[in-house]
Structure 1
């Protein structure tokens, strides 16, 4: 089991969470799809639910809450990038053309966070760990395995994340028009132009990928549970994947790694 036992390197996607109109329905859906366990959390943390797999935290689910007079936020998965200093990252975001949506705030004793948008409008979070560093299981069926920015401008977007978060873009051999995002020498995420299989008008965004053991059967289960398919299962370099929506409209991808030879 690929357990993570120490803090993620700065810039690395370290956590994902879902904001859903019906929090309990989302908890039930992902429990059945991925085997997660989770329940509505304490009121002082807005009911935030920490979802676990085999007893280890893998993702969060919260109820969508609109500030007074504002429209209800969309149902989306948010990717959080690790930071050693949330205040410094916030300053770098604004200095390089990003927009801070929710400035740095303390989350009890577990960490500090902010939410921002890059210059193309893609929303992401930043997490500075204190007592909690992020996902403790990755790259296992039911757990986070990849995060990818789908954008309208790879050059500008790559430059922003390098300057604001320390993620260095690089080409990927044999995969034209796809870029890796590297924390140090390690590839920790990807970047590409918005793919044409997404609905027209889809804005730039971070895509969350969850590992599964059988892409086709998971997609079938998702459809039976009220989800929908944006791109049916297909084979690609990293395995067999599909792009889907949960019943409340949150988009994510599932991928099954190739079988070992």
Structure 2
């Protein structure tokens, strides 16, 4: 079981869902992935819910900040110092939206936007380091930036996280970012067919045993398939939206198929 007890700075460490109806979202993802929802009853937690698989934390969910805010999956990156990360974001041309703010004794978080407007977060670990189960079915297995400005993104994120960029040169359609030689995230230019109202965003991938079955299950549970299953070098992937429109991907890794 690929359990984690910590993350190096610059690596994705967690994902959580902003939802207008956390209970309904929890029911959808329980059907999709077998997750159990554990609501934090501390009044200061604001109804935050942790998703676990076999008792191990894999993701989370909380209410959207306002009724007009879209439902979305949020991507967190590990940071040694959230304040320093905020300075790097501003120096690189991004925006600090919220924080850094301490979350009880769990850790410190901050919400940012890159120059194109894609939201992302950093997490400075306290008692909590992030997802403890990764890279297996029903757990996070990848993070990818969908952008209309790949050149700008390839300049911004290495400034913030110290990433090395591979690919994205000589007309290649995407790129891979590495942190200390280890894959941190991917970049995918938005294709012409993506509706203009879809903003730049980070897409969270969850592992599945069978991509086609998972896509069918998502539809039966009330979601939609935004991109049909297709084979990629990393495996077979489909992009879905849950009943409230939050986008996510399911990936059957190449080695597992």
Identify the TM-score tier after normalising by the shorter chain: over 0.9
Task: State whether structure 2 residue 18 is matched by structure 1 residue 24.
Answer: no
Instruction: After superposition, give the CA deviation of every residue in 1:11-49 in whole Å (9 maximum; x if it has no partner).
Output: 111000000001100011101100111133222111111
Deviation at 1:61, TM superposition (A): 0.7
What are the equivalent positions in structure 2 for 1:1-261 lying under 5 Å apart? Answer: 1-5=1-5, 7-42=6-41, 43-66=43-66, 72-171=68-167, 176-259=172-255
What CA distance in whole angstroms lies between the structure 2 residues aligned with 1:197 and 1:25?
A: 30
Instruction: After superposition, give the CA deviation of every residue in 1:220-249 in whole Å (9 maximum; x if it has no partner).
Output: 111011100111111121111101100010
Deviation at 1:258, TM superposition (A): 2.5
Deviation at 1:150, TM superposition (A): 1.0
1:260–1:220 distance in 2 versus 1, CA, 3 Å: closer
Q: Which runs of 5+ in 2 are unaligned?
A: none
- 2:226 match: secondary structure: strand
- 2:32 match: secondary structure: helix
Tell whether the 8 Å contact from 1:161 to 1:168 is kept in structure 2 after alignment: no
1:73–1:213 distance in 2 versus 1, CA, 3 Å: same
Deviation at 1:201, TM superposition (A): 2.5
Q: Kindly tell me the number of residue pairs found equivalent between the two proteins.
A: 256
Instruction: After superposition, give the CA deviation of every residue in 1:172-228 in whole Å (9 maximum; x if it has no partner).
Output: 79x932111111111121012113453332111101000000111111111011100
What CA distance in whole angstroms lies between the structure 1 residues aligned with 2:104 and 2:155?
A: 33
1:172–1:157 distance in 2 versus 1, CA, 3 Å: closer
Tell whether the 8 Å contact from 2:209 to 2:256 is kept in structure 1 after alignment: no
What CA distance in whole angstroms lies between the structure 1 residues aligned with 2:188 and 2:197?
A: 16
What CA distance in whole angstroms lies between the structure 1 residues aligned with 2:193 and 2:227?
A: 6
Tell whether the 8 Å contact from 1:150 to 1:195 is kept in structure 2 after alignment: no
What CA distance in whole angstroms lies between the structure 2 residues aligned with 1:2 and 1:35?
A: 17
What CA distance in whole angstroms lies between the structure 1 residues aligned with 2:165 and 2:178?
A: 6
- 2:254 match: secondary structure: coil
What CA distance in whole angstroms lies between the structure 2 residues aligned with 1:39 and 1:198?
A: 35
Q: Which runs of 5+ in 1 are unaligned?
A: none
What CA distance in whole angstroms lies between the structure 1 residues aligned with 2:99 and 2:20?
A: 23
Tell whether the 8 Å contact from 1:86 to 1:128 is kept in structure 2 after alignment: yes
Q: What TM-score, normalized by structure 1, do the two folds share?
A: 0.93
- 2:37 match: secondary structure: coil
Deviation at 1:76, TM superposition (A): 0.3
- 2:117 match: secondary structure: coil
Deviating 4+ runs (over 4 angstroms):
none
Tell whether the 8 Å contact from 1:197 to 1:230 is kept in structure 2 after alignment: no
1:40–1:257 distance in 2 versus 1, CA, 3 Å: same
* Range moving further from structure 2, 52-61 or 175-184: 175-184
